[in-house]
Amino acid sequence: MFENDTIAAISTALSEGGIGIIRLSGSEAVEICDKVYKGKNKLSEVDTHTIHYGHIYDNDRILDEVMVSVMRAPRSYTKEDVVEINCHGSVFIQKEILSLLFQKGARPAEPGEFTKRAFLNGRIDLSQAESVMDVISSQNEFAANNSLRQLDGYLKKQMIVLRESLIYEIAYIESALDDPEHISLDGYGKHLDDVISPIMEEIQKFIDSAKDGSYLKNGIRTVIVGKPNVGKSSLLNVLAKKERAIVTDIPGTTRDTLEEQISFGEFSLHVVDTAGIRKTEDQVEKIGVKKALSSIEDADLILYVVDSSSHIDEEDFRIMEKIKDEKVIVLLNKSDLELNIQEDTIKEHLPNKSVISISAANHSGVEDLKEEIRTMFFHGEISLHNDVYITNERQKYLLEEAYRSLTQVKNSILNEMPEDFYSIDLMDAYEFLGKIIGESVDDDLVNEIFSKFCMGK
């Protein structure tokens, strides 16, 4: 155990609801709870992993009717004694009970401290700990499934396999250097190259997955652009399935950027609706147009909305020139009206860009748009199979460093350097992979990681 004191926090969202859960963890969790709980039996006398009905008392005053769960070490989330008080979801009641627990000897838990204790006490590794917050914050089905696979230890298992291969070779080199008469290094460079090549391939797969992983975790940053009154805000409302943006027939209604996270089930879009791009003397609208043009530079995907019942003009040419080198899907909106713009017309100015006919008025074309995004970003298919996508920048950086170290080993083999050069870079790669799962990590980094967690987790 790395901590001896008992911590407590409200683990459910601090808002009105049917129930609220207050969690305690530490060697005195049961004892402290017994000071405020009255039921058929004292909690110190009950079996582990049982739940009990009773009341929470402040001296002789009943605070609430509760169900209390008892989970004794080491079979708990933190590998310490854990007690969870299920009370009514009143914010006032939850705070009253928590305050009472502090009076009886518990201290307030820091953000992420329950999960931090689970890591420090060896129940989970660092990659699993980081996946806890990914599960909580997941915006779509795929992100949730990916996080759950990491929480189940998939990445840890892969890192262990790779590290075992590396440490075997490190040990062999060190043994051969200490005892050259009995352990030969003749032809060892070729053997080592054959060993590390597949390891590098595996690491590269994880690195390559990081881009898709970022899209799946955070959503594809999608900017809607077009002239005023072409249906950009109507499209946002259709995608969001609610009246998120004001829609009028007056050009220039949207003066600022408007953002919305939209889930398509397996993946999500972080959509930014922008002001209509046109020349204007209105000072406020000018600022909106400037923001719209600036948003294009930060976008993963541009949805260029065109009023297909109108005609192409100079403003369209200006927009198309701005977005021609970006990832773009052209949406010919108002396809329910008489068409004056054809797909071929757009293709003349934006060759190799996808063009889809939609109608924000009757919601047609949305499924076609969804399929096109899936094809553009995920090769037409989103499936975990037996893989995990890297969604964590820290993990990606460490994988890249491990890959660089193994590249240096290959260069040393190619240049016929002494074998002790191999050992240095192999050990670096081993350490970098170890940091992913927390085998070698300093306290400051651990504190930084867990400080980003929500309270009570």
β-pair partners for 364: 359
Q: Report DSSP letters for 85-126, one per residue.
A: EEEE--HHHHHHHHHHHHHTT-EEPPTTHHHHHHHHTTSS-H
Burial 182-209 (b: 16+ CB within 10 A, else e): eeebeebbeebeeebeebbebbeebbeb
* Domain CATH code at residue 326: 3.40.50.300
- Angle subtended at Cα 417 by Cα 409 and Cα 426, rounded to the nearest 5 degrees: 25
Query: Is the residue at 404 inside a domain?
Result: yes
- Tens of pLDDT, residue by residue over 238-280, are 887 766 544 444 444 444 567 788 887 777 888 888 766 655 5
- pLDDT for 2 beyond 80: no
Do the strands 328-333 and 354-357 form a parallel or antiparallel pair, or are they unpaired?
parallel
- Tens of pLDDT, residue by residue over 350-401, are 888 888 888 888 888 888 988 898 888 876 555 555 567 787 888 999 999 9
* Same domain, yes or no: 161 and 38: no
pLDDT at position 252 is 46
* Same domain, yes or no: 39 and 155: no
- The last residue of a domain, from among 88, 105, 123: 123
CA distance 113 to 365: 47
* Same domain, yes or no: 117 and 138: no
- The last residue of a domain, from among 332, 353, 378: 378
Q: How many domains, the chain?
A: 3
Look over the chain and give the mean of its residue pLDDT values, rounded to a whole number. Answer: 83
Query: Is the residue at 386 inside a domain?
Result: no
* Same domain, yes or no: 171 and 308: no
- The last residue of a domain, from among 60, 94, 123: 123
* Same domain, yes or no: 345 and 405: no
- Three-state SS sequence of 373-404: HHHHHHCCCCCCCCCCCCCCHHHHHHHHHHHH
CA distance 145 to 383: 10
Give me the half-sphere count of Cα atoms (radius 13 Å) on the Cβ side of residue 272: 24
* Same domain, yes or no: 352 and 223: yes
pLDDT at position 251 is 45
Query: Is the residue at 453 inside a domain?
Result: no
Query: Is the residue at 448 inside a domain?
Result: no
pLDDT above 90 covers a percentage of the chain that reads 36
Backbone angles phi, psi at 430, to 5 degrees: -60, -45
Strands (E), 285-381: 301-307, 328-333, 354-357
User: What tokens does 154 get?
Assistant: 């998939």
Please enumerate in sequence order all residues whose Cβ is within 8 A of that of 248, keeping only pairs 6 or more positions apart, or say none.
none
- Tens of pLDDT, residue by residue over 403-455, are 999 999 999 999 988 888 899 999 999 999 999 888 766 676 677 677 766 77
Burial group, residue 304, by CB count within 10 angstroms (0-12, 13-18, 19+): buried
Query: Is the residue at 418 inside a domain?
Result: yes
Backbone angles phi, psi at 225, to 5 degrees: -125, 165
Whether the predicted model's global pTM rises above the 0.85 cut: no
pLDDT at position 381 is 57
Decide if 253 contacts 231 (C-beta within 8 A).
Answer: no
Query: Is the residue at 408 inside a domain?
Result: yes
Query: Is the residue at 456 inside a domain?
Result: no
Burial group, residue 84, by CB count within 10 angstroms (0-12, 13-18, 19+): buried
- pLDDT for 177 beyond 90: no
Using only the alpha carbons of the chain, give its radius of gyration. 29
CA distance 192 to 88: 62
User: What tokens does 137 get?
Assistant: 């914050």
pLDDT at position 286 is 58
- Angle subtended at Cα 246 by Cα 240 and Cα 247, rounded to the nearest 5 degrees: 95
3-state secondary structure of 414: helix
How many other C-beta atoms can be found within 10 angstroms of the C-beta atom of residue 431? 17
Query: Is the residue at 22 inside a domain?
Result: yes
Q: Give the residue numbers spanning the domain of 200.
A: 132-214+392-438
* Same domain, yes or no: 297 and 153: no
* Same domain, yes or no: 139 and 105: no
CA distance 81 to 252: 60
CA distance 149 to 257: 36
Please enumerate in sequence order all residues whose Cβ is within 8 A of that of 243, keeping only pairs 6 or more positions apart, or say none.
237
Residue range 273-301: mean pLDDT, rounded: 66
Backbone angles phi, psi at 153, to 5 degrees: 100, 15
